[in-house]
Amino acid sequence: MKKIFISFSFFVFVSMVLAGPPPDAGVGIEPGVKPAQKMLRWFGLEYGLYGPSLKDLNHAFQAPLGEEKIGMNDYIAIGIGMPTPGDNRVGLFFGYWNCSAKQGSNKLNVNMIVFSPEFAFRVVKISNKALFSLGLIMRDVFAWWKFESVGTDTSEISLITDFGAKATAEYYPTKSIGIKFDFGRIFWGFDWMGLFGEDKIKLQTHGFIMKLGVNFYY
């Protein structure tokens, strides 16, 4: 738990220091004076799809659930950040994901609360209207699952740290609004709760994540 708290605090600090402004962020200047960038703050809203593997969990309940399994489902998030010079972005996102699988009276439900610092570095900028970037994802995930059946009620919690990469395209209809599309993949994760017992079902969070979002700059 201490390790999770330290990483979360570090993520908040990095996000406050390093997040970036939108393209064409500037202030009025006198002729002949070098422009000074206006350091704009921002917050964002995201909606998309996330499909974690959860291989061990689906295998453990394959008998009672049959062909039904936990898979891709809706993902929502809000993000905050502070700017840096240039077109790079760093933000801290708070996300939520839920998915269920049911067969008769047997039901498995999984929830995840995600703390996700995301770093994006400019690759291509088209005028002041569009920005294409590649980035890194580092997440702390608090997850819990519950299986319900006749005479049975089982649940566990997990604390997971995982890492991935993403590509982002952002379009700016105005200087204060950015509409973006993220396509990412979580490649590796570690379930810390697996250290506390061999019978613990580890949760594999690697998988694709696709999001549409709006950033508001101010």
Question: Residue 53 sits in a domain of what CATH number?
Answer: 2.40.160.20
Number of domains comprising the chain: 1
* Cα 117 to Cα 206: distance, rounded to the nearest angstrom: 16
* 192 phi/psi in degrees, rounded to 5: -65, -30
**pLDDT number for residue 41:** 77
Q: With b meaning 16 or more CB within 10 Å and e meaning fewer, what string describes 21-32?
A: bbbebeeeeeee
Average pLDDT over residues 158-167: 96
Domain hosting residue 9, numbered range: 2-217
Query: Taking the CA atoms of the chain, what radius of gyration do you get in angstroms?
Result: 20
Cα of first residue to Cα of last residue in the chain, in angstroms, is 35
| Least trusted range by pLDDT, from 91-95, 128-132, 193-197 | 193-197
Q: Say which residue, 132 or 41, is predicted with more confidence.
A: 132
